[in-house]
Structure 1
Amino acid sequence: MRVLKGLQVPRFDSHDLLAAWMHVDAVLAPWLALHKMSRLKLLFSCLPHLKHVVAIHAAITGNVPLLKHLHSQLNVLMVTPYYVVDFAAWSGHFDALVFLLSIRHRGMSAHALSQAARHGYVQIVQFLLRHLHSRSPTAVVAAASNGHLNIVELLCPDYQDTIDDEAMDVAAAGGHLDVVKWLYNRGSRSWRALLAAAKHGHTHVMEYLLGTSHKNWGPVSMDNAASMNYLDVLRCLQNHPHVASQHRAIDAAATNGHFEAVRLLHDMKLAKASVKAMDDAASRGWLNIVAFLHEHNAAGCTLAAMDNAAAHGHLDVVKYLHKHRNEGCSTDAMDWAATRGHLDMVQFLHKHRHEGCTTDALDGAASRGHLDVVKYLHAHRSEGFTEVAIDRASLNNHPEVVEFLVTCGRGRVTSSCAIDAAVAHGNDHLVDFLLTHGHHPSVNALESCAWCNDVEMFEKIYPLVEPSHARANAALEIVAYAASAGHLTLLQSAMRLGCVTTPPDLALVGAAKHGHLEVVKVLAPLYHHRPLAALDEAATCGHADVVKYLDHVAFPCTCRAMDGAATNGHLHLLKWLAAHRQEGWTTDAFDGACRNGHLNVVQWLYPQRQIDISPDALTWAVDANCLKLVEWLTLTGRTHFNVLNAMSCAAANGSLPILAHLVEVYSTWSEMDGMAVIAAAGGHLDMVKWILSNSNRRESIEEAMKAAKHAQRPIVVSYLHTISSAETLDDQAVDDDEAEDGDEDIVDVHSDTSDGGALLEQAMELADDSSSDDGIESEYEEE
Structure 2
Amino acid sequence: MQEPEEPFVLASVSVVCRRWPSVEDLPHAVHLIHTFTAEISKKALPDLLEHGDSSLFFRVLQAVDESVNLIHHEKLRQYRLAMQLIPSKMTLKGGKLQAMKELYKRYRGAVDDDTVRAVAAEPELPVLKWLHSCEPRIFKNFTGFEERIFRFASTNDRKGVVRWLVKLFPDTVRSLELAAGGGHLDLIKWLMKHTKWDTEVEAAFYKAVQAGHVEIAKFLYNYKPTMTKSYWPMQSITSLEIAQWFHEIKFWSFTDSVLRGAVERGHLEMVQWLHVNYSNLFTAETMNSAAAHGHLKLVKFLHANRSEGCSTKAMDAAAGDGHLEMVQWLHENRSEGCTTEAMDSAAFHGHLDVLNWLHTNRTEGCTSGAMVMSFWSNDRMNAAKWLHENRALELPDDIVDRAARRGDIEMLSWLHSSGKGRWSKNVMDEVARHGHLEFVKFLHENRREGCTKNAMIHAAANNHLDVVKWLRMNKRKASTTSAMNAAARNGHLEVVKWLHENGQGGCTAVAMNTGAYGGHLKVMKFLAANYSFNWSEKAMANAQMHGHTETVKWLYFHLGMKLLPHEVNAARNDFIDLLELMDKETDFCRNPTVFFAGCGNNHPEVAEWYKDHYGNPRKRKHCSQ
CA distance in 1: counterparts of 2:96 and 2:561, whole angstroms:
54
Match of 1:194 among 136, 154, 176: 176
CA distance in 2: counterparts of 1:648 and 1:259, whole angstroms:
59
2:242 maps to amino acid? A
Alignment match, 2:486: 510
**Structure 2, unaligned stretches of length 5 or more?**
1-34, 85-91
Alignment match, 2:399: 417
3-state DSSP of counterpart to 1:589: helix
CA distance in 2: counterparts of 1:175 and 1:672, whole angstroms:
52
Alignment match, 2:444: 459
User: Offset at 1:203?
Assistant: 2.4
Alignment match, 2:4: none
Structure 1 pair 566–313 and aligned structure 2 pair: CA distance change class (3 A): closer
User: Offset at 1:589?
Assistant: 1.6
Asked if 2 retains the 8 angstrom alpha-carbon contact of 1:141 and 1:166, the reply is: no
Match of 1:630 among 579, 599, 609: 579
1:596 maps to amino acid? G
CA distance in 2: counterparts of 1:375 and 1:54, whole angstroms:
57
Asked if 2 retains the 8 angstrom alpha-carbon contact of 1:368 and 1:396, the reply is: yes
Structure 1 pair 455–608 and aligned structure 2 pair: CA distance change class (3 A): closer
Structure 1 pair 138–318 and aligned structure 2 pair: CA distance change class (3 A): same
Structure 1 pair 56–25 and aligned structure 2 pair: CA distance change class (3 A): farther
User: Offset at 1:644?
Assistant: 1.8
Question: Aligned runs of 1:384-533 on 2, under 5 Å?
Answer: 384-386=365-367, 392=374, 408=390, 410=392, 417=399, 421=403, 424-427=407-410, 431=413, 439-443=420-424, 445-447=427-429, 449-450=431-432, 451=434, 452-453=436-437, 454-459=439-444, 462-463=447-448, 471=449, 475=452, 477-478=454-455, 480-482=457-459, 484=461, 485-486=464-465, 487-488=467-468, 491=471, 495=475, 506=482, 509-510=485-486, 515-516=495-496, 519=499, 524=504
3-state DSSP of counterpart to 2:409: coil
Once the two structures are superposed, residues 406-444 of structure 1 have per-residue CA deviations (whole angstroms, 9 ceiling, x without a partner) of: 66463776657389749954338x946x66656345347
CA distance in 1: counterparts of 2:567 and 2:167, whole angstroms:
62
CA distance in 2: counterparts of 1:405 and 1:668, whole angstroms:
71
CA distance in 2: counterparts of 1:366 and 1:128, whole angstroms:
59
Structure with higher Rg: it is: 1
Structure 1 pair 442–27 and aligned structure 2 pair: CA distance change class (3 A): farther
Match of 2:511 among 510, 516, 538: 538
CA distance in 1: counterparts of 2:222 and 2:208, whole angstroms:
15
Asked if 1 retains the 8 angstrom alpha-carbon contact of 2:460 and 2:483, the reply is: yes
Structure 1 pair 213–449 and aligned structure 2 pair: CA distance change class (3 A): closer
**Structure 1, unaligned stretches of length 5 or more?**
12-18, 61-86, 146-164, 464-470, 543-562, 674-783
Question: Aligned runs of 1:274-285 on 2, under 5 Å?
Answer: 274-285=255-266
1:537 maps to amino acid? V
How many residue pairs align between the two structures? 556
1:7 maps to amino acid? K
Q: Does 1:261 align with 2:242?
A: yes
Once the two structures are superposed, residues 513-532 of structure 1 have per-residue CA deviations (whole angstroms, 9 ceiling, x without a partner) of: 5544555677636xxxx9xx
CA distance in 1: counterparts of 2:169 and 2:602, whole angstroms:
45
1:138 maps to amino acid? F
Asked if 1 retains the 8 angstrom alpha-carbon contact of 2:156 and 2:182, the reply is: yes
User: Offset at 1:209?
Assistant: 6.0
Question: Aligned runs of 1:25-174 on 2, under 5 Å?
Answer: 25-29=54-58, 43-48=66-71, 52=76, 92-93=97-98, 119-121=124-126, 138=139
Alignment match, 2:212: 229
User: Offset at 1:286?
Assistant: 1.0
Match of 1:649 among 585, 598, 605: 598
Alignment match, 2:618: 670
Q: Does 1:241 align with 2:224?
A: yes
CA distance in 1: counterparts of 2:566 and 2:503, whole angstroms:
40
User: Offset at 1:366?
Assistant: 5.5
CA distance in 2: counterparts of 1:168 and 1:351, whole angstroms:
56
Once the two structures are superposed, residues 444-473 of structure 1 have per-residue CA deviations (whole angstroms, 9 ceiling, x without a partner) of: 75455433231233135534xxxxxxx57x
CA distance in 2: counterparts of 1:369 and 1:170, whole angstroms:
42
User: Offset at 1:234?
Assistant: 0.9
Alignment match, 2:30: none
Once the two structures are superposed, residues 84-124 of structure 1 have per-residue CA deviations (whole angstroms, 9 ceiling, x without a partner) of: xxx9xx95559978x999xx9988999999989x7444998
Match of 2:271 among 274, 278, 290: 290
Asked if 2 retains the 8 angstrom alpha-carbon contact of 1:368 and 1:393, the reply is: no
User: Offset at 1:227?
Assistant: 1.6
Structure 1 pair 591–605 and aligned structure 2 pair: CA distance change class (3 A): same
CA distance in 2: counterparts of 1:511 and 1:137, whole angstroms:
51
CA distance in 2: counterparts of 1:47 and 1:491, whole angstroms:
45
Asked if 2 retains the 8 angstrom alpha-carbon contact of 1:175 and 1:202, the reply is: yes
Structure 1 pair 293–124 and aligned structure 2 pair: CA distance change class (3 A): closer
- Answer 1 or 2: higher relative contact order, Cα 8 Å, separation at least 6: 1
Structure 1 pair 478–241 and aligned structure 2 pair: CA distance change class (3 A): same
Once the two structures are superposed, residues 155-192 of structure 1 have per-residue CA deviations (whole angstroms, 9 ceiling, x without a partner) of: xxxxxxxxxx9999887666577998999999956554
Q: Does 1:220 align with 2:202?
A: yes
Asked if 1 retains the 8 angstrom alpha-carbon contact of 2:46 and 2:81, the reply is: no
CA distance in 2: counterparts of 1:94 and 1:320, whole angstroms:
58
Structure 1 pair 215–449 and aligned structure 2 pair: CA distance change class (3 A): closer
Asked if 2 retains the 8 angstrom alpha-carbon contact of 1:303 and 1:330, the reply is: yes
Alignment match, 1:596: 547
1:25 maps to amino acid? S
Structure 1 pair 671–318 and aligned structure 2 pair: CA distance change class (3 A): farther
Q: TM-score, structure 2 length as denominator?
A: 0.67
Asked if 1 retains the 8 angstrom alpha-carbon contact of 2:349 and 2:376, the reply is: no
3-state DSSP of counterpart to 2:504: helix
Structure 1 pair 436–360 and aligned structure 2 pair: CA distance change class (3 A): farther
CA distance in 2: counterparts of 1:654 and 1:462, whole angstroms:
57
Q: TM-score, structure 1 length as denominator?
A: 0.55
User: Offset at 1:575?
Assistant: 6.5
CA distance in 1: counterparts of 2:542 and 2:387, whole angstroms:
61
Asked if 1 retains the 8 angstrom alpha-carbon contact of 2:488 and 2:523, the reply is: no
User: Offset at 1:334?
Assistant: 1.0
Asked if 1 retains the 8 angstrom alpha-carbon contact of 2:568 and 2:597, the reply is: no
Structure 1 pair 670–299 and aligned structure 2 pair: CA distance change class (3 A): farther
Alignment match, 1:683: none
Asked if 2 retains the 8 angstrom alpha-carbon contact of 1:511 and 1:519, the reply is: no
Question: Aligned runs of 1:747-758 on 2, under 5 Å?
Answer: none
Question: Aligned runs of 1:346-365 on 2, under 5 Å?
Answer: 346-365=327-346
User: Offset at 1:23?
Assistant: 4.7
Structure 1 pair 620–304 and aligned structure 2 pair: CA distance change class (3 A): farther
Percent identity, aligned pairs only, is: 21
1:410 maps to amino acid? A
Asked if 2 retains the 8 angstrom alpha-carbon contact of 1:338 and 1:373, the reply is: yes
Q: CA RMSD in A?
A: 5.8
Alignment match, 2:319: 338
CA distance in 1: counterparts of 2:362 and 2:140, whole angstroms:
71
Alignment match, 1:743: none
CA distance in 1: counterparts of 2:586 and 2:226, whole angstroms:
69
1:219 maps to amino acid? V
